[in-house]
Amino acid sequence: MSFIEVKEVSKTFKVNKRSAGIPGMIANMFVPKFENKKAVDGISFDIESGEMVGFIGPNGAGKSTTIKMLSGILCPDSGSISVNSYVPYRQRKEYVAGIGVVFGQKSQLQWDLPVIDSFELLKAIYRIPEEMYKKNLKRYTDMLDMGGFINQPVRQLSLGQRMRSDIVASLLHSPKIVFFDEPTIGVDVIGKETIRSFIRELNEKDKITMIFTTHDMQDIEQTCKRILIIDKGSLLYDGSLQEIRNKYGTTRQLIAEFNEDTEVTPIENVMIGDPKDRKRSFTFDNSVVDVNALMHEILGKYSIRDITVTEPEIETIIRKIYNKEVFA
C-alpha cells in the first residue's frame, strides 16, 4: 500500500448561478438557481513516502480542492483517500498531528506578536516535547537564517521573512508530510532560492513527503522530480519532468544572426520565421531534423554572425498540454 493513495476521487460544488441585471438579482433572491460545478473529476494517483510532487494547473483547475481533500478540510463526494493509513477527513485530529500545511497566501502566524510567540503557541497546540521543539527550532531557524527577525512582530516582516517563518511554523512538530500551497508567491528571487534549497534539503535528508502547488515553474523545476498536471478537475499528466521534456519538448528553435540582409531558401521540415534585425528563427522538431545537418547547411550557405539553439521552456510545454495541443 502506498503512502498516499487517491482513488477515483470526485468533488462537486454547488455554485449559485446568478442571472444578469437587477431583475435577475431579485429573481435570484427568491428562487436561487444552483449549478453543479465539478471541481475534481475522478482523479487517481499514488505517492510514495519521501517523494516530492508538484501539482500544477491553471487557476480553478482543482488543485486547491485536491489539496484540501488530502489535508482533511474537505471530504470527497466519491472515491477514497488514504494518507499514511489514515482517512484524512474522518480521523481529523490524529491525522493532522502528522502533517504540515503552508498556505502562501494566508499566514498562520499571530500578526501582532513576535514570530517566536507564534512558535510557542504551536508548541502547545501540537504538544511538541520540549527537546524536539528546541532542536527543530534551532535547526530550521539556522537553515533559513532567521536569527535576525525571530523576535520581531510579524506585521513588521517582509514577505520573504514572513514566508520563511510560516514554513518553519508548519515544520516544528516534525510532520511526515508537508503541503505547500504556493510557498514562494510574492517572494523576491533570492528569497525564493533560499526557500527552494531549504525544501530540497529537508526532502533529501529527512525524507519528508512534500506536495506542492505553484504557478512558478521554476519552483517545480528546482524541487520536484514528479509532477501532476491537473486541468478542469482531471489529471492530464502524471510523471517526471524529464519525461515531459523528452516526450513533448522535442521542438528546438535555432536563431541565426546574419551579417547582411539575406533571402533564405526554404528547408524541408523547418519553419523559417520572418527576418527581424537581420535575425531569423528556424523552428524544427529534433526527432525529425538533425541539428548538426541543419547548422551545417545554414553556416555553409550564408554569412552568419551568431547562432544559438534553444530548448523550449517547460512553461511552453505545459501550456501546450493545457491547450490540448499535445496529449499527455
Partner 1 sequence: MRSDALKLSAVYTKMIFRSWFQYRVDAILRSLAVFMREATSIIVIYFTLLKFDSLNGWNIYEMLFLFSLVYVTYGIMIIFFTGLRDFGKTVRTGGFDRYILRPRGLLFQLIFANADWFAAVGHGCLGILLFVLSAAKIGVVWTPARVIYYIFSIAGGVLIQGAIFLFLAALNIYLFETNALKEVFYWNGRKFAGYPISIFHKAIQFCMTFVVPFAFVNYFPSQFLLRKDDMAMYPEIFMYITPLVGIVMYLLAYLFWRVSIKYYKSSGN
Residues within the interface to partner 1 (CB under 8 A): 11, 13-14, 65, 68, 71-75, 77, 89, 92-94, 96-97, 99, 101, 103, 106, 108, 110-113, 117, 120-121, 124-127, 153
Residues near 269 by beta carbon (within 8 Å), at least 6 away in sequence: 284, 285, 288, 289
Q: CB nearer to partner 1: give 98 or 191.
A: 98
Cβ atoms of residues 234 and 45 within 8 Å: no
Query: Which residues does residue 6 pair with via DSSP β-bridges, in sequence order?
Result: 45, 81
Looking at the Cβ atoms of 117 and 311, the one nearer to partner 1 is 117
Distance of closest approach, residue 134 Cβ to partner 1, in angstroms: 17
Nearer to partner 1, 129 or 273 (CB): 129
In whole angstroms, the minimum distance from the beta carbon of 202 to partner 1 comes to 19
Q: CA angle 212-214-220, nearest 5°? A: 70
Q: Which is nearer to partner 1, 108 or 262 (CB)?
A: 108
> Which residue, 91 or 316, has its beta carbon nearer to partner 1?
91
Please list the helix, strand and coil fractions of the chain in percent, rounded to the nearest 5, in that order. Answer: 35, 30, 35
C-beta of 98: minimal distance to partner 1 in Å? 9
Other Cβ atoms within 10 Å of 251 Cβ, number: 17
In whole angstroms, the minimum distance from the beta carbon of 92 to partner 1 comes to: 7
Q: Residue 288's Cα: distance from chain center in Å?
A: 32
Give the Cα separation of 189 and 323 in Å (integer): 29
127/276 with CB nearer partner 1: 127
Question: Minimum Å distance from CB 227 to partner 1?
Answer: 24
- The nearest distance, CB 14 to partner 1, in angstroms, is 7
Element (H, E) at 103: strand 99-103
| DSSP conformational letter for 283 | E
Nearer to partner 1, 54 or 76 (CB): 76
Of 71, 155, 166, nearest in space to 114 by CA: 155
Which residues neighbour 93 within 8 Å (Cβ) at sequence distance 6 or greater? none
CB of 295 to partner 1, least distance (A): 54
